[in-house]
Amino acid sequence: MYRFWDAIIEPALDRLEPQVIVEIGADFGFNTRNLLEYARRTGATLHVIDPLPKFDVDEWAATYPGTLLFHGAPSLEVLSSIAQPDVVLIDGDHNWHTVFHELKALQDSADTDSSGYPLVLLHDLGWPYGRRDLYYEPDRIPEPHRQPYEKGGLRLGRESLDPDGGLNAHLFNAVRAGGPRNGVLTAVEDFMREAPFELGLIVVPGINDLGILFPTSLRSRNRPLSDFFDELTSGTPLRQLLGRVEALRVDAQIESSDLQRSIRDVRAQLVSQIKDLRNEASALRNEASALKGQVVERDKKLSDLAAEMQSNVQALNLELDSSNQEISQLEGAVRELEDALVDKNAQLEKERSRIASLGKSLKRAERAQAKALRDYPRLR
């Protein structure tokens, strides 16, 4: 709605000079900031109604003390507590039930005649939600007032939802457009038929269309505002041109939405691929770490084995040195034994020679004895 500020909203406020302003649906606060600046400049009070604002409420309340009154609840729980608002801007839950009962709540808090009913500015009276409900929280809508809905995209000229793209494919949209109690514009028209006083409606084409709902008695009570309304409704060719421009803008918006969805899909695929690659890299790192651990373990085992083999070699070398020493000692002993044997053999040879000599001497003695014995009788 903030795009209508310079051309529609601020000029209307300047002519009406409201003291109590209500904004339903602030979102990021683009229009809220404009309203706060206006209210501070003119001394008005701004009630902002939004269950889930996308700005820092405390910071803004401190910046605009006494100007901003924030209500963090659904509009139908709050409106009855705000007495006699002069202007209400409705851009919250875009469905028949919510908008119709918001307008009824404003009627209940107004005087019995039309003088107490505020000027109401409503966004999205055009395509796509003029004749089709949108549910941010479907369970909040009573079942009898809730259209069949699904998540699906919207396309110009197509009544059913597009499951493969289109505008607002991520939101809960009514399955079909048109029919009773379906859409923002339908809610406004139904309320106008039931209201106990006469109401006027001006639809400004473009940017999903802006509706200006007002009691017709307001024209006679505020001539500058009535003249401004006349300016808005004059220039039929220009309004037709704005309608064509709006159709082109919607086409571009849908194309942009489809492109953004494609980008999100590609990004999701890339994120998934990157995640898979990271998982694969992590697995490879884990495998490499495990292999490294195995290599380290094997290196340690090899090192321990090498140390053990070196120790064994050293032990064997020591045993070999000891054996060599023993062999040397044995060889020395053998040599001593051989030398002793040689000496013994020499002694034995001497003894043999001596024995042989003694044998010869004995034989000579025996021969001499035998000769003597032979010679003895004769000598006797």
Q: What is the pLDDT of residues 67-122, one digit of tens each?
A: 999 999 999 999 999 988 999 999 999 999 999 999 999 998 876 567 889 999 99
Given this model, what pLDDT does residue 241 score? 43
Residues 96 and 186 in one domain: yes
Whether 259 maps to a domain, the answer reads no
- The answer to whether residues 202 and 341 belong to one domain is no
Q: Say how many residues make up the chain.
A: 380
- 185 and 282 in a single domain? The answer is no
Task: Identify the helix (H) or strand (E) that includes residue 155.
Answer: strand 153-155
251 within a domain of the structure (yes/no) = no
CATH of the domain at 201: 3.40.50.150
Position 253 scores a pLDDT of 61
Final residue belonging to a domain, choices 174, 204, 234:
234
Residues 206 and 289 in one domain: no
Contact 119, 90 (CB under 8 A): no
Quick check: is 250 in a domain? no
> What is the count of structural domains for the chain?
2
pLDDT lower than 50: segments of the chain: 237-238, 241
Last residue of a domain, one of 234, 260, 292: 234
Question: Are 204 and 352 contained in the same domain?
Answer: no
- The pLDDT assigned to 252 comes to 67
Q: How high is the pLDDT of residue 20?
A: 97
Establish if 246 belongs to a structural domain: no
- Residue 307 belongs to what domain range? 278-380
Pair 351, 228 in one domain: no
| 256 domain residue, yes or no | no
Bridge partner residues of 167 (DSSP): 154
Local structure of residue 197 (DSSP, 8 states) = S
Same domain for 230 and 285? no
Which residues is 151 bridged to in the sheet? 172
Q: What is the pTM of this model?
A: 0.69
Regarding whether 207 and 344 lie in a shared domain, the answer is: no
Give how far Cα 161 sits from Cα of 67, 131, 136, 166, 343, Å: 42, 14, 16, 8, 129
- Of 179, 205, 234, the residue that ends a domain is 234
Query: Do 219 and 340 fall within a single domain?
Result: no
Q: At what angle do helices 184-194 and 96-109 cross, to 10 degrees?
A: 40
Q: Say whether both 160 and 227 belong to one domain.
A: yes
Residue 268 lies in a domain: no
Tell me if 228 is assigned to some domain: yes
Q: Same domain for 222 and 90? A: yes
| One domain for residues 210 and 319 | no
64 domain-assigned: yes
Question: What tokens does 64 get?
Answer: 């605009």
